[in-house]
Structure 1
């Protein structure tokens, strides 16, 4: 086991799961770190949209501190930042470029980036959009932990000069995601915030099947869907579903649908946390197709890959109960072995411990790779 580490994470949000996938990703990882004996300080920008929707304002597995501006955050925590074994900055942190620059000037022992949006980040950088990380900063980082694996890691090193690129997939807290034993309410459900690039797939793989199967029941949970969407009568809507209700939601579905953003399909090897949550709850998954999915959850054995409406209709009408349960059990076994927060935290801590300290003397600014 890795010796206890002192880790500081500057992330988008830990306190609120509203409209983002970052909070649940951080929660599973940090709970795993705490269970493995590591200490974590999480610094979160205090913004009104998360402040109004906090479902975990005071976690018991780490210290969470809100800050109002970059200068104040650095000034208040400079000593802890310099002493930490590693400082991690996450994607989509407000004024992220300034945060990284200030940490470089401060001289932290190991400075890393955790990109929970890697395909989106690379697409933004290709357009010259440096919203939360600048291309010039990437070679100066000690490690770049990526939501996406596979070919993306080679690209980070080859095109962007990243020294060390490692996959850090999302994970699930198995103690909070398990089947609740509730009776089925829906034949197929989907959990996800509205996204314009996902909506055509949701139309093809859930809304059109609902039209073809009017006696079956469907559900879509998540915020920000436009008011002008026409939902079939047999599709229920839930505006927001906090993580505390996810296990119940999955457990009441015969199948659940996974829909992936276009940038992540293009990159491949970018599993959503929803895959792992559903599998841990023993709910069979129907997913769109992308490179690397079969390596995580083998098609036909651990999930159904749907390429069109007919594939979904067939899964809902032709897969019998023993086959449905076999899919669920296979996916659950894989996830509980490889994709829990405890497993992910062990790998993450080991990777951090293996990184050399860039600075001979902490507190000195890093000025070159």
Structure 2
């Protein structure tokens, strides 16, 4: 079975938080017999910041960010049994959405895979003429990497036939415990790019607690923070490639997850970082959001903070032994329930069932 997947980037996580999710999901689908071709634009300097070279489980087509090149890869959709347009490609998103859905073989499945459903839904509510409004009733399914019941209800109300959350997960082959590295040593580590939809929450949950604890050691990784005024006890280490995520997560007493505003408001949206940290057996502190207990048990497998003071209180009470116990419990939980292998089984069954149902309708 051939799958044509149009997304931001499989090869680079540079300003591309979906990379780990794409790699985990698509590598598992490849193990189940899917012939995956991933189309990504040469944009945002990502090709100069590759984390991986083209893998053996997918063909990667990198195309120039020009109208002609876009039309060339759109035409390739006709070759696939399943055509996937992901949100947030960053260039020619509307043209890709309309183009690949029109170019797809009539017998192919057409999917929209939303890796930022809360933001997409907010955009749809504010933009009545958004092309996705017209396309939703024509799609076979919308898959999202989070959002739970609120997102499913919203998408179906807008015309989606099927909406299924396919949550982030752990790939134990890429995220696992490693020895700590002095360059990432801290009381609290935080890893995320600087984005407008998250910055105020980062100030509240990370920067303000750091400023109120001048004797503590804090480290922040990710792009964009170099122009941000940081407390003197916060070290910025710039972009941290996926190859260094395990060391980053393993080197601090605890690491922090801060959801973007839209995801925190909707809930049921565990970020990739949650499972990466758990895979490395790190003690994770997360800002509070609805549904966290469906993935990790508060106070046993994860620490939940309602505000910056909670973050400070957690750190003050945290001993290395307790941090280690929480991290190890989180790793056991995600290995048992939240791996990409389990997600891959779910998506594979969904796609094959949908294709079989389509063939039966065609034969009737």
Q: TM-score over 0.5 for the alignment? A: yes
Distance of aligned partners of 1:104 and 1:312 in 2 relative to their CA distance in 1, 3 Å threshold = closer
What's the Cα RMSD here?
2.3
Distance of aligned partners of 1:208 and 1:106 in 2 relative to their CA distance in 1, 3 Å threshold = closer
- C-alpha distance in structure 1 between counterparts of 2:55 and 2:12, whole Å: 11
Unaligned runs of 5+ in 1: 362-369
Distance of aligned partners of 1:342 and 1:74 in 2 relative to their CA distance in 1, 3 Å threshold = farther
Q: Name the structure 1 match of 2:6.
A: 10
Q: Name the structure 2 match of 1:37.
A: 33
Is it true that 1:180 corresponds to 2:186 in the alignment? no
Is it true that 1:47 corresponds to 2:46 in the alignment? no
- Give per-residue Cα distances to partners, 1:227-264, cap 9 Å, x unaligned: 2x322222110110110111111110110000011111
- C-alpha distance in structure 1 between counterparts of 2:343 and 2:273, whole Å: 16
Name the SS of the counterpart of 1:198 in structure 2.
helix
Q: Name the structure 2 match of 1:201.
A: 201
Aligned length: 353
Q: TM-score under structure 2 normalisation?
A: 0.90
Aligned positions of 1:1-369 closer than 5 A: 5-68=1-64, 69=66, 72=69, 75=72, 78=75, 81-93=77-89, 94-108=91-105, 109-128=108-127, 133-148=131-146, 149-157=148-156, 159-182=157-180, 185-225=185-225, 227=227, 229-356=228-355
Do 1:110 and 1:357's aligned partners in 2 also have CA atoms closer than 8 Å?
no
- C-alpha distance in structure 2 between counterparts of 1:278 and 1:121, whole Å: 26
Higher helix proportion (structure 1 or 2): 2
Q: TM-score under structure 1 normalisation?
A: 0.89
- Please say which of residues 65-74 and 305-314 is displaced more in the overlay: 65-74
- Please say which of residues 53-62 and 84-93 is displaced more in the overlay: 53-62
- C-alpha distance in structure 1 between counterparts of 2:301 and 2:128, whole Å: 38
Distance of aligned partners of 1:339 and 1:107 in 2 relative to their CA distance in 1, 3 Å threshold = same
Do 1:150 and 1:292's aligned partners in 2 also have CA atoms closer than 8 Å?
no
Unaligned runs of 5+ in 2: none
Do 2:226 and 2:236's aligned partners in 1 also have CA atoms closer than 8 Å?
no
- Give per-residue Cα distances to partners, 1:2-48, cap 9 Å, x unaligned: xxx32111111112111121212111112222233322110112225
- Give per-residue Cα distances to partners, 1:142-182, cap 9 Å, x unaligned: 0100122222112211x211001000112232111111122
